[in-house]
């Protein structure tokens, strides 16, 4: 059970490890099960679809698209990974972090984001009361352990990491590190996604500096001016971050800190056209321009980047229909 204290915790003990493979039935379906990795549940992995959707649905995010595609494809191609895949997505609201989580789910699991193998946690919804922190820690560990025991290929999404209690974040360390197994279960085939607005100001500032230097945003890389390292330090040292002085960062279990760039007018325009298509409407560039023009931008004079990204585009579009 979890031990009280800011920096000290251990994983919950769930019983004896069993050896070998057995045939079990889950939801009426026969599955070969390895007790050290959990049942080898059916997948719907589509690497071509993943690449296509990241390229054609994630607007203005050349860097995030490339890093995420490479990370996921590399992880899925490894039959014996040494640890789970852990990605931390950072950027301002509306830049595509939740969309990426949805795209990954749709191209890995039957049922996509609605699959029983995909688990979403929203900090302010699932862990709202600081007084219940100890209970949350136990419940969270039980949920992760139980679901990975059911399906080794499971994905856990933690949204609003900037509002997550860092003590609760540290509870996850035992599942993310280089352990062959924890209490008889291996978590090395699982995927963990952390979504946060934290670090967005650093990313936005870099995008602005590239524009001021007359450089293309597509030139921005993970190592541009130490961007990935800067994000790591920012979330580690910020008391309002779920990663504040977190053992996850000390232990380097996060594989990539992925920056999401602020969206320009042209990207929001593409979002508007995509929303029209999703609503079954014929493309109307005039309507799309009206929607995009109504959005707030920054800096105030230059109006370069959308304050809300593509968030609220759908709602504003309905106003013009």
* Model pLDDT for residues 201-260, shown as the tens digit of each residue: 999 999 999 999 999 999 999 999 899 999 999 999 988 888 898 888 888 999 999 999
Question: Does pLDDT of 279 surpass 60?
Answer: yes
- Both tokens assigned to 232: 């790591």
Q: Are the beta carbons of 90 and 297 closer than 8 angstroms?
A: no
Q: Check whether 90 has a pLDDT greater than 80.
A: yes
Q: Determine contact, residues 236/244, Cβ cutoff 8 Å.
A: yes
Question: Phi and psi at residue 260, in whole multiples of 5°?
Answer: -110, 120
276 and 227 share one domain: no
Confidence band, pLDDT 50/70/90 cuts, at residue 40: low
**93 belongs to an annotated ligand binding site:** yes
pLDDT, residue 4, reads 34
Confidence of residue 23 (pLDDT cuts 50, 70, 90): very low
Which residue is listed with tokens 């209970």?
135
List, for residues 156-173, the tens digit of each pLDDT value. 999 999 999 999 999 999
Sign of CA dihedral 242, 144, 108, 115: negative
Together in a domain, 59 and 197: yes
The enclosing H or E element of 139 equals helix 133-150
Residues 158 and 195 in one domain: yes
Using DSSP, state whether 187 is helix, strand or coil.
Answer: coil
| pLDDT at 91 > cutoff 80 | yes
Residue 41 — pLDDT band, cuts 50, 70, 90?
Answer: confident
In this structure, the answer to whether residues 126 and 83 fall within a common structural domain is yes
State the pLDDT confidence band at 320, using cuts at 50, 70 and 90: confident
304 and 169 part of one domain: no
Are residues 197 and 152 part of one domain? yes
Mean pLDDT value across the chain: 87
**H or E segment and range at residue 290:** helix 285-294
226 belongs to an annotated ligand binding site: no
Length in residues, the chain: 321
Asked which of 241, 259, 277 is the last residue of a domain, the reply is: 259
pLDDT attached to residue 250 = 86
Tell whether 163 and 270 lie within a shared domain: no
Residue 15 confidence (pLDDT) above 70: no
In a domain, 154, yes or no: yes
- Please check whether residues 81 and 96 belong to one and the same domain: yes
Establish whether 98 is an annotated binding residue.
yes
Reference 108, options 75, 148, 144, 64; nearest CA is 75
Q: Is residue 161 part of a domain?
A: yes
Q: Are 152 and 41 in contact (CB under 8 A)?
A: yes
- Please count the structural domains in the chain: 2
Q: Quick check: 84 and 191 in contact, CB under 8 A?
A: yes
Statement: residue 26 has pLDDT above 70: no
Measured between alpha carbons, how far is 232 from 250 in angstroms, rounded to an integer? 10
CA distance 85 to 188: 8
251 and 281: one domain?
no
Terminal CA-to-CA distance of the chain, rounded, Å?
55
Find the Cα–Cα–Cα–Cα dihedral 104, 169, 233, 60, rounded to 10°: 20
Give me the percent of the chain exceeding a pLDDT of 90.
77
Domain enclosing residue 92, as ranges: 47-259
Domain-terminating residue out of 216, 236, 259 = 259
**Residue 288: its pLDDT value, please?**
95
55-67: pLDDT as tens digits: 999 999 999 999 9
Q: How confident is the model at residue 31 (pLDDT cuts 50, 70, 90)?
A: very low
DSSP 8-state assignment for residue 185:
B
DSSP 84-135: -EEEEEEESTTSSHHHHHHHHHHTTSTTGGGSTTEEEEEHHHHS--GGGHHH
Mean pLDDT of 255-281: 96
Is residue 91 part of an annotated ligand binding site? Answer: yes
Are residue 96 and residue 228 in the same domain, yes or no?
A: yes
Q: State if pTM tops 0.95.
A: no
**Is 28 part of a structural domain of the chain?**
no
Q: Do 186 and 282 share a domain, yes or no?
A: no
Please state which of the ranges 38-42, 68-72, 231-235 shows the lowest mean pLDDT: 38-42
Identify the weakest region by mean pLDDT among 21-25, 77-81, 223-227, 283-287. Answer: 21-25
- Say if residue 153 is in the same domain as residue 270: no
């Amino acid at each position: 059970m979890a031990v009280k204290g800011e920096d000290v915790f251990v994983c919950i003990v769930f019983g004896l490890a069993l050896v070998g493979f057995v045939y079990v039935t889950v939801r009426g379906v026969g599955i070969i099960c390895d007790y050290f990795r959990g049942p080898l549940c059916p997948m719907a992995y589509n690497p071509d679809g993943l690449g296509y959707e990241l390229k054609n649905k994630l607007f203005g995010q050349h860097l995030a698209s490339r890093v995420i595609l490479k990370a996921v494809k590399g992880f899925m191609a490894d039959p014996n990974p040494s640890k789970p895949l852990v990605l931390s997505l950072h950027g301002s609201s509306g830049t595509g972090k939740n969309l990426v989580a949805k795209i990954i789910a749709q191209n890995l699991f039957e049922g996509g984001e609605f699959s029983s193998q995909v688990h979403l946690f929203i900090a302010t919804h699932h862990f709202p009361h600081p007084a219940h922190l100890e209970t949350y820690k136990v419940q969270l560990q039980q949920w992760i352990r139980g679901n990975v025991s059911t399906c080794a290929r499971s994905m856990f999404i933690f949204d609003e990491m900037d509002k997550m209690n860092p003590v609760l974040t540290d509870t996850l360390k035992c599942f993310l590190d280089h352990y062959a197994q924890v209490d008889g279960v291996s978590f090395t085939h699982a995927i963990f996604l952390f979504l946060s607005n934290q670090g967005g100001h650093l990313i936005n500032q870099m995008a602005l500096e590239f524009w001021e230097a007359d450089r293309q945003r597509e030139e921005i890389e993970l190592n541009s001016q130490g961007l990935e390292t800067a994000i790591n330090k920012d979330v580690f040292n910020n008391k309002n971050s779920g990663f504040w002085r977190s053992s996850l960062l000390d232990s380097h279990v996060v594989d990539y800190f992925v920056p999401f760039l602020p969206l320009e007018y042209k990207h929001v325009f593409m979002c508007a056209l995509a929303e029209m298509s999703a609503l079954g409407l014929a493309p109307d560039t005039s309507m799309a321009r009206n929607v995009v023009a109504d959005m707030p931008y920054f800096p105030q004079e230059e109006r370069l980047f959308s304050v809300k990204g593509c968030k609220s585009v759908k709602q504003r579009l309905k106003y013009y229909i």
